[in-house]
Structure 1
Amino acid sequence: MPYRGSIHFVGREAELTLVHQELQQKDRVAIVGMGGVGKTELATQYARRYENEYGGITWFNSRANLSGEILAFFSSEFGFEIPQKQGERLLNLKEQVAWCWSKYPESSLPILIVFDDVTDLTNLSEVVPKYHRFEVLVTTRLRHLDRNLIQEIPLDVLSVEKEPGQALELLKRLLGKQDKRVENQLEAATAICECLEYLPLGIELVGGYLVRDPELSLNKMFGQLQEQKLAEKALQTRETLNSTQLGVKAAFALTWEELDSVTQQLGKFLSLFSPQQILWNLVIWVAIGAGKLDNQEKARQLRWSENELNEAKQQLYERNLLQQVEDSEGFYKIHALVSWFLQEQLAESGEIKAVLETTFATAMIARARKIPDPATCEDIELFKAVIPHLEELGKRLIAEIKAAKEEQIISPASVPNDRVISIFVGVARFYEGQGLYKIAEPWYEKCVNVCQALFADDHPDVATSLNNLARLYDTQGRYSEAEPLHKEALAIRKRLYATVHPDVAQSLNYLARLYENQERYSEAEPLYKEALAMRKSLYATDHPDVAQSLNNLALLYDSLGHYSEAEPLCKEALAMRKRLYADGHPDVAISLNNLALLYFHQGHYSEAEPLYREALAMYKRLFPGDHSDVATSLNNLARLYDSVGHYSEAEPLHKKALAMRKRLYATDHPHVAISLNNLALLYDSLGRYSEAESLYKEALAMRKRLFATDCLNVATSLNNLARLYDSLGRYSEAEPLHKEALAMRKRLFVGDHPHVATSLNNLALLYFHQGHYSEAEPLHKEALAMRKRLFPGDHPAVADSLNNLALLHFHQGHYSEAEPLHKEALEMYERILGVNHPNTVTVRENLANLQQQLTSPSIWKQLVRLF
């Protein structure tokens, strides 16, 4: 709960009781009333008074993006894995929010949900929980709510029916026990309350004014209020204020007039901030530091000092124009009605308005530009106080652009067109860095829409905004949505830049990466090569873009099994990144991981392990919470341990990676499928077949939903499930899966490839287990020959094929052919994995069994041949 509640709370006992009674009966209650009447205060007092009757209280400020705020709450507070799909259908935000409420932790007591200051009834209806264990309390200025959805409790101004009256009682409390002006000048006090329409906010403003001037009579105070009301009414040219607003504005105006010029300027300046969470240190930085940004001459015209600002803040605070946020050191808030009055003052302030707006926008854009991609947890903590104000600026700009378009004006007044994109990208990166893709997505979408509205023809910012949205789709595995955006961005950049240009190289790289993620390697390779050549021609020395292109082309060759081409590119990228970044950096960790992956694929485990460990340690320092790179690093190290038989070390890493990926990707995603598959592989190796089968099936189903055509990951899942069935003797279920996997891999990879060799080997093993030796032998020989061509030196896959072919010869009674193959396999395993590895031990036992048969009487040899 953000507010402690006023110590001067009076006159709402009946309303408090009524709220409680209605909530017990109807679950959903709305406190309805005009701005400044005390709706939030009543909700706060209710929650404080009755908190022991609830199993929890959750408070949402409903001026924000409610759906996004709720999803972020459930993700951060409970670590929920929020689904994005139900079967093949994408869930909308309303359905995702409903799912969240259904998973709210159980409690023996009801849960109170407060939606404060609702301004959009449609938004409210989409997020209100439908379960009776929740009691929902809403505050809103909107009237005539849907009674089927919610029960209204109108909150009027303070009552004057009871003597001395609620309004008078509040005024007395504000002045303090020693001040007798209300009792001594009761008629004037009553007139003041009447002039203010008994609105608590207005009474608080006047009470503060009177406290600061103990000699001021209430008669004189009333006269000043009347003058202000009449003057405002006479000068009114905008939409007419109602009498209550006039009364409060009169009280505000009296308070405003006693402020010095610096304090007035500060009040106008604060109206540009989001009113709920204003960090004072941020205000200081924006106000004083902005003059140094981009040579902003207008900003320097303010010439504020920190002491002046602190003194001005104190004046605003003492006059109830600024309030401290409960339990948040250094944070302040402004009442919505006060914020509106301050915005009115800003709108009427002439030239200084442009100065203040430019100062604010320049500083906010400077902060937005510093939000990195990817944003680490450290970055999230650093920038979280800025985000509400960037969001406020973004919303204001959208409104300005819409108004400008209607008036056929090209650009908004407060921000240069070439800076607008930074605001939306900064906010989106902030949420994307936390894995909150559903909240990041609309900001990237708004960025595209704003840029397209500002720039009618081809423009760099339009291309960049398209790329950013496409990359978010890439991250979520939404490749069909990403591809047209990447292509459009590339086409725009090629039209803009007829010659070599970094932006064109970037778009080539992004589109290639999309194709690689879909395993469309033949389409990805020429784009990667073109991007690398372009970047090398642009940058004569070390550059992050060159390192990125080297790394990406290396990964592609690794995926294709072209290890001799991949290794020098991996090493060159790593060396360049280490020269570019002296300390830990995500790009260095990426290169460490990728070089380790290359060694792993070649069976060079002793070279891969220290690189994997170094990469994981670096990622954990950079991203202390959930992050896709941390999950990938955990997964890769676990796979290495699998391969060398260290299963007890592998299992917890696999589980951590899977859990993290499920939290990061709430729907089908290739990375989740990878973790499901890899944990299943581990259980398969440990003989925990029932656990392995369910995970294999889940991974296969997910991959088939993700990839409609031939796909390496689908083939892998087919192969792995088939191997499990083979191990369990369920041959009729295994064979069609093995054949489907082999056919798919042959379509994907023309010529030699490790995955094709694996499928040949596994289908051969299936036939071997069924005693179909004549069908198994040519497949084993083809797999061995291919693996020897792929891996000229020692490699576990070659040793595996040698052993398998030896076993086949043994069971056929061809001992002289089997013995040298077993010996070669054993020597290779000992060199690669050591003498105690399970694979080494198994081959040693196979060789011993064979040698025993060779020394046994000939009758046994004849029997072996027969059976």
Structure 2
Amino acid sequence: MPEDSGKFADKIGVYVAPGGQASVNNQIIEGQKQLRPTKYIPYRGSVHFVGREQELAIVHEDLQRGNYVAIAGMGGVGKTELATQYARQYQQDYGGIAWFNDRKTNLAAEVLEFFLKFGLEIPQELGGRLLSLKEQVAWCWSKYPDSPLPILIVFDDVTDLANLGEVVPNDNHFRVLVTTRLRHLDPNFIQEIPLDVLSPEKALELLKRLLGDKDRRVENATEAATAICECLEYLPLGIELVGGFLTGEPNLSLNTMLRRLQERKLTEESLQREKTIGQSQLGVKAAFALTWSELDPLAQQLGRFLSLFSPQLILWDLVLWVATDGGEEDEEGKEERQLTWSENELNEAKKQLYKRNLLQLVEEREGYYKIHALVRWFLQEQLAASGEMQSVLETTFATAMIAVAQILPNSPTSEQIESIKDVVPHLEDLGNRLIAEINQATEEQIISPASVPNDQVAWIFEGVTRFYQGQGLYQLAEPWSQECVNVCQALFTGDHPDVASSLNNLAGLYYSQGLYSEAEPLYNQALEMTKRLFTGDHPNVASSLNNLAGLYDSQGLYSEAEPLYNQALEMTKRLFTGDHPNVASSLNNLAFLYFSQGLYSEAEPLYNQALEMRKRLFTGDHPNVANSLNNLAGLYDSQGLYSEAEPLYNQALEMRKRLFTGDHPDVASSLNNLAFLYFSQGLYSEAEPLYNQALEMTKRLFTGDHPDVASSLNNLAFLYFSQGLYSEAEPLYNQALEMRKRLFTGDHPDVASSLNNLAGLYDSQGRYSEAEPLYNQALEMRKRLFTGDYPDVASSLNNLAGLYFSQGLYSEAEPLYNQALEMCDRILGVNHPTTTTIRKNLAILRRQLAPRPIWKRRLGQFVKILLRIVILPFYLLWRFVKQLIRN
């Protein structure tokens, strides 16, 4: 008996429970999408590359032998440059090239996002067992397309070999090249190629190439040029900085340059109290200092500002937006930030930084730049020494990042996710800086880190959480949500609204995965803290009551949920006299609780009150009015009052189409619900195009896996199933099940529903051996999810009993029917349609089991004998006549 047929409850308010009416989102994939090998090398590579021919050859030999290879050395020695040159020079030897950066973001997250871009559906569970992030990454590599040539993977700037171990493929078809500052690596794991400074001859050659063929200063002052390279400790980064400086000063002699460089190096050495950089890098710092001194003030300010961005992939349009708008919408806000930069001024300043090699272009991504990690460190030093300007720049940057983080709603679409994907690395970098600063602060001296107001800090973590959660990447979202709790607890001693909010949000993340036991204590903590913070009535208390009630509601714990919903409603009514959106939401949620229990007479007046209130509050079209129309229609639909439901569903659909031009989740939800109405009446030809429209719209809205796409697949499958079109239904049911398993780790109501539905399909075809294990999995999962009585558990008991009944296994079926009936009597009441259905099923079973009276048995025997006596002669005569005719 398939369920989850498509009606969702569209609960509106601070808390929206799944299984309520939401509807569609994500993309169905007919099998797996075909990956195509790509050769992605993000950096152009220097045209002046010299002196690494031997290292290039060694790298190639070791990689061809199948070794993992690490180019190891200090900052500024040219590790990334060597990896870039290798990938470009030897790309014909590889079937594909993938490039990842450890400092840009979490390595596992970056690998998973790489495969998600190709539409690969990444499982979170296989064979009934949850997959770790390492196993998910390994599965992704196993799906990389076959190629006669090996695949090169570059992991740039690796800071932790443990992180690397989580993402490297265990397959000799792949070649792994790493750059790292770590030394003395485990030779059993990776082949280390130490990268030292350039030889004096190659360093001089590099300086000459940087100045160009027409510049004769190196030939005319070879001794000074050699001394410059020596002063720079033959580090390529230092030579590039000096080369950029000299190119901008064509009349400056090398002797003068050498004197300035030596003086600056001596100054830096005397100031070097902490060994934050090595002695060999002091020359590079001196070169940076000279370059810095020649920059215009605005270029210097821009350099300081850029040090706040994650250095690996900086979108210039993002920099312009942050610097000129910064999330401030009014002129007063801009004045407070004290920044008056224009776009033209910033572009000119960028050119200075680029010409001086402080900023590098990312070739494969138009409009993207990167900053060498050591240069960024020097820029951050300049930022720290800039006095009040440091606070101005940090505040401007953080304000903009927070503004972007606030853009994402709780359930973002793929378009919304795409709009902030270039910001997320910078959000993560800022979040990690906040964590580091807070961890260093003492309990007595908690500060506002990075000029982020304490009451805004949580948004940084919430934005990253929503980014990953919106893609179904719950394992990547969870650490950020947990860190949000940790950071808020560190910033605010004792009770605080942001701490309560962070607890609530983490609970919501667990709730969305069906992890109710993890969610409940957090919701309770949030509620108790909010009650202590706000004595008497308060909107936050009402919201917290509502959220905990929603959790109980979803588990079928209606007796626990109802008083909380009522408290939330009464409190909201006291807080807001007359009509108010929060009151309408509370009415709606309590109505849904009654609706879930089949208490339609209690639900209907509440739904009506919510609808009328919203109509008074919002003149014309409004999403809340459309939601109320939809919910009331769903109530009538469930009672078979189709003539009352249809106009409401149509009103909701038309209103949503006017509100949301193009594709929108609410429009897809309305299409789905109207389709179900037609389906309920057997109007399959009217239902099918609407289900298909809903599915296609959801696939356009959400790339990859999404709960709403899985629901839409399930609904269309059920339509086909109901018409006996099993071959059309089965692949859709399977796709919905696999998608839900990937989305929800461990137990989840949607996974249980999909198991149940697929089992029902097999059951209807007499494929009992395939149906039974699925019915059992669904039942056991629901028992783990829902403690005590719950309608879905009763449904599973009924379905499994029906399977046994169909096979004549009456003794196995009877106790299951009894359990299901007793459970429905307790939670739904004796007159509920589901209760009535199960009672009829049990009655049919008992008729089969009941022994017949003796007189009935003897009468049956007599009838059989009589039939033989009467019919047998006629049968024999017919056979005789038939034979005569043939002859």
Task: Verify same fold: TM over 0.5.
Answer: yes
Measure how far apart 1:724 and its partner are.
2.6
Return the match for 1:25 from 61, 65, 86: 65
Return the match for 1:213 from 243, 246, 249: 249
Hey, what's the Cα distance between the residues in 2 that align with 1:338 and 1:388? 19
Return the match for 2:206 from 155, 170, 173: 170
Hey, what's the Cα distance between the residues in 2 that align with 1:706 and 1:60? 39
Are residue 673 (structure 1) and residue 709 (structure 2) matched? no
What does residue 157 of structure 1 align with? 197
Q: Which amino acid aligns with 1:50?
A: Y
Hey, what's the Cα distance between the residues in 2 that align with 1:184 and 1:507? 77
Residue correspondence of structure 1 range 806-821 to structure 2 within 5 A: none
What does residue 38 of structure 1 align with? 78
Measure how far apart 1:643 and its partner are.
5.8
What does residue 623 of structure 1 align with? 701
The farther-off stretch of 529-538 and 252-261 is 529-538
- Change in CA separation of 1:304 and 1:117 when aligned onto 2, cut-off 3 Å: same
What does residue 396 of structure 1 align with? 433
- Change in CA separation of 1:70 and 1:768 when aligned onto 2, cut-off 3 Å: farther
What does residue 829 of structure 1 align with? none
Residue correspondence of structure 1 range 221-260 to structure 2 within 5 A: 221-239=257-275, 241-260=277-296
What does residue 196 of structure 1 align with? 232
The farther-off stretch of 201-210 and 763-772 is 763-772
1:574-609, CA deviations, whole angstroms, 9 ceiling, x for partnerless residues? 676687597785x67765664454344323467468
Measure how far apart 1:727 and its partner are.
2.6
Q: Which amino acid aligns with 1:121?
A: L
Measure how far apart 1:74 and its partner are.
4.1
What does residue 524 of structure 1 align with? 561
Q: Which amino acid aligns with 1:70?
A: V
Hey, what's the Cα distance between the residues in 2 that align with 1:408 and 1:482? 32
What does residue 550 of structure 2 align with? 513
What does residue 759 of structure 1 align with? 838
What does residue 37 of structure 2 align with? none
The one of the two structures with greater contact order (alpha-carbon pairs below 8 A, sep at least 6) is: 2
Are residue 82 (structure 1) and residue 123 (structure 2) matched? yes
Return the match for 1:69 from 101, 110, 113: 110
What does residue 671 of structure 2 align with? 614
Measure how far apart 1:675 and its partner are.
2.1
Alignment: residue pair count = 774
Unpaired runs of at least 5, structure 2: 1-39, 654-668, 674-692, 861-869, 872-887
1:405-448, CA deviations, whole angstroms, 9 ceiling, x for partnerless residues? 26634543611211111111111111111111111111111111
Measure how far apart 1:119 and its partner are.
1.2
SS in 2 for 1:493: helix
- Change in CA separation of 1:240 and 1:27 when aligned onto 2, cut-off 3 Å: closer
- Tell me if the contact between 1:197 and 1:243 (Cα under 8 Å) persists in the aligned partners: no
Q: Which amino acid aligns with 1:235?
A: L
Hey, what's the Cα distance between the residues in 2 that align with 1:659 and 1:84? 9
Hey, what's the Cα distance between the residues in 1 that align with 2:427 and 2:518? 27
- Tell me if the contact between 2:778 and 2:796 (Cα under 8 Å) persists in the aligned partners: yes
Measure how far apart 1:26 and its partner are.
4.8
- Tell me if the contact between 1:204 and 1:320 (Cα under 8 Å) persists in the aligned partners: yes
Hey, what's the Cα distance between the residues in 1 that align with 2:628 and 2:742? 25
Residue correspondence of structure 1 range 326-365 to structure 2 within 5 A: 326-365=363-402
Are residue 123 (structure 1) and residue 170 (structure 2) matched? no
Hey, what's the Cα distance between the residues in 1 that align with 2:827 and 2:640? 23
SS in 1 for 2:166: helix
- Change in CA separation of 1:73 and 1:744 when aligned onto 2, cut-off 3 Å: farther
Return the match for 1:186 from 208, 219, 222: 222
Hey, what's the Cα distance between the residues in 1 that align with 2:713 and 2:634? 12
Hey, what's the Cα distance between the residues in 2 that align with 1:332 and 1:175? 23
Q: Which amino acid aligns with 2:186?
A: D
- Change in CA separation of 1:708 and 1:93 when aligned onto 2, cut-off 3 Å: farther
Measure how far apart 1:745 and its partner are.
3.4
Measure how far apart 1:513 and its partner are.
0.9
Unpaired runs of at least 5, structure 1: 775-808, 814-858, 861-867
Hey, what's the Cα distance between the residues in 1 that align with 2:306 and 2:727? 57
What does residue 145 of structure 1 align with? 185
1:387-407, CA deviations, whole angstroms, 9 ceiling, x for partnerless residues? 121212211112222222266
Residue correspondence of structure 1 range 627-776 to structure 2 within 5 A: 627-636=706-715, 639=718, 654=733, 657-685=736-764, 692-693=771-772, 695-707=774-786, 709-768=788-847
Return the match for 2:497 from 457, 460, 467: 460
The farther-off stretch of 469-478 and 227-236 is 227-236
What does residue 499 of structure 1 align with? 536
- Tell me if the contact between 1:369 and 1:426 (Cα under 8 Å) persists in the aligned partners: yes
SS in 1 for 2:442: helix
What does residue 52 of structure 2 align with? 12
Measure how far apart 1:382 and its partner are.
1.6
Hey, what's the Cα distance between the residues in 2 that align with 1:772 and 1:107? 69
What does residue 484 of structure 1 align with? 521
Q: Which amino acid aligns with 1:350?
A: G
Hey, what's the Cα distance between the residues in 1 that align with 2:429 and 2:592? 41
The farther-off stretch of 606-615 and 47-56 is 606-615
What does residue 423 of structure 2 align with? 386
Hey, what's the Cα distance between the residues in 1 that align with 2:809 and 2:96? 52
Percent identity (aligned): 65
- Change in CA separation of 1:506 and 1:480 when aligned onto 2, cut-off 3 Å: same
Residue correspondence of structure 1 range 535-554 to structure 2 within 5 A: 535-540=572-577, 543-554=580-591
- Tell me if the contact between 1:293 and 1:363 (Cα under 8 Å) persists in the aligned partners: no
Hey, what's the Cα distance between the residues in 2 that align with 1:688 and 1:398? 55
SS in 1 for 2:451: coil
What does residue 114 of structure 1 align with? 154
Measure how far apart 1:341 and its partner are.
0.7
Hey, what's the Cα distance between the residues in 1 that align with 2:493 and 2:479? 21
Residue correspondence of structure 1 range 839-858 to structure 2 within 5 A: none
Measure how far apart 1:720 and its partner are.
1.4
What does residue 416 of structure 1 align with? 453
- Change in CA separation of 1:221 and 1:566 when aligned onto 2, cut-off 3 Å: same
SS in 1 for 2:449: coil
- Tell me if the contact between 1:525 and 1:556 (Cα under 8 Å) persists in the aligned partners: yes
Hey, what's the Cα distance between the residues in 2 that align with 1:215 and 1:536? 79
Hey, what's the Cα distance between the residues in 2 that align with 1:695 and 1:632? 18
Hey, what's the Cα distance between the residues in 1 that align with 2:733 and 2:768? 17
What does residue 826 of structure 1 align with? none
SS in 2 for 1:239: coil
- Tell me if the contact between 2:122 and 2:140 (Cα under 8 Å) persists in the aligned partners: no
- Tell me if the contact between 2:598 and 2:828 (Cα under 8 Å) persists in the aligned partners: no
Q: Which amino acid aligns with 1:120?
A: D
- Tell me if the contact between 2:829 and 2:835 (Cα under 8 Å) persists in the aligned partners: no
The farther-off stretch of 520-529 and 648-657 is 648-657
SS in 2 for 1:127: coil
What does residue 413 of structure 2 align with? 376
| TM-score, L = length of structure 2 | 0.80
- Tell me if the contact between 1:229 and 1:250 (Cα under 8 Å) persists in the aligned partners: yes
Hey, what's the Cα distance between the residues in 2 that align with 1:416 and 1:240? 29
Measure how far apart 1:481 and its partner are.
0.7
Hey, what's the Cα distance between the residues in 2 that align with 1:332 and 1:679? 50
- Tell me if the contact between 1:299 and 1:358 (Cα under 8 Å) persists in the aligned partners: no
- Change in CA separation of 1:419 and 1:354 when aligned onto 2, cut-off 3 Å: same
Q: Which amino acid aligns with 1:382?
A: S
1:253-279, CA deviations, whole angstroms, 9 ceiling, x for partnerless residues? 121111111110111011111111222
- Tell me if the contact between 2:125 and 2:741 (Cα under 8 Å) persists in the aligned partners: no
Measure how far apart 1:647 and its partner are.
7.0
- Tell me if the contact between 1:589 and 1:615 (Cα under 8 Å) persists in the aligned partners: no
| TM-score, L = length of structure 1 | 0.82
